[in-house]
């Protein structure tokens, strides 16, 4: 008997503590702090059903996710509680009018105080779901970085993604020569072993609410 690939259960152990952290709630939005290791939305396989969205919808059935974080990235995820609010803020993400900042710990000493990475990205067809710098077929991707501090064989950065490509910060840091610690897709050897999780956290998000007010939310960095 042959076992279909879809019948093979993926290895997935989402954190249960905290089960759900809501930083803010109003009539239009929920601001959640997603832990590392939890999917933003459920996967296709039944073993991947647990996610931030499914946890939220148990309490708020009408909640819709506005944007996603990688499973291993922690931090702010915005959800809408009605379709009008969803459309309003989703348009801001599409037009790149929102402002986001991340904190990352990367391997090695980053020289200088700040800089910009402007490198197009595309899926790596031979190593899915990994992405790569691709000057021929890639989509434009822009990241601004700022050094916060230095440690032994590591640098703490604040990252500002000006675009929203898949794995953008992870691939851009690799291209800079400083992979994010604990990155199972792009780090190897000491850089991979240096942390027990991906050291990337969505720290801050700013956007405009339907009433015209500008708001900023922050999730404390857990590392």
Distance CA 177, CA 172 (A): 9
Task: Give the three-class secondary structure for 5.
Answer: helix
> What are the tokens at 91?
């348009």
Distance CA 104, CA 27 (A): 32
Q: Please list the active-site residues.
A: 70
> What are the tokens at 191?
């850089």
Cβ atoms of 191 and 179 within 8 Å: the answer is yes
Cβ atoms of 52 and 77 within 8 Å: the answer is yes
Please name every residue paired with 128 in a beta bridge, in sequence order, or none if there are none: none
Q: Which residues, 6+ apart, have CB-to-CB distance to 41 below 8 Å?
A: 51, 52, 53, 65, 68
Distance CA 47, CA 176 (A): 36
């Amino acid at each position: 008997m042959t076992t279909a690939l879809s019948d093979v259960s993926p290895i997935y152990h989402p954190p249960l503590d905290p089960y759900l952290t809501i930083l803010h709630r109003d009539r239009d939005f929920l601001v959640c702090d997603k832990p590392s290791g939890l999917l933003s939305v459920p996967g296709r396989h039944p073993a991947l059903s647990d996610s931030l969205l499914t946890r939220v919808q148990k309490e708020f059935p009408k909640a819709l996710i506005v944007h996603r974080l990688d499973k291993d990235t922690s931090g702010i995820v915005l959800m809408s509680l009605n379709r009008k609010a969803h459309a309003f803020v989703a348009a801001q993400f599409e037009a790149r009018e929102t402002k986001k900042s991340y904190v990352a710990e990367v391997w090695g000493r980053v020289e200088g105080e700040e800089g910009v990475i402007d490198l197009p990205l595309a899926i790596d067809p031979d190593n899915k779901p990994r992405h790569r710098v691709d000057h021929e077929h890639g989509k434009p991707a822009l990241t601004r970085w700022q050094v916060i501090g230095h440690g032994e064989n590591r640098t703490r950065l604040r990252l500002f993604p000006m675009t929203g490509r898949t794995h953008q910060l992870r691939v851009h840091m690799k291209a800079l020569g400083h992979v994010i610690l604990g990155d199972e897709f792009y780090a190897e050897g000491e850089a991979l072993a240096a942390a027990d999780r991906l050291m990337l956290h969505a720290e801050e998000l700013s956007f405009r609410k339907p009433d015209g007010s500008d708001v900023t939310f922050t999730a404390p960095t857990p590392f």
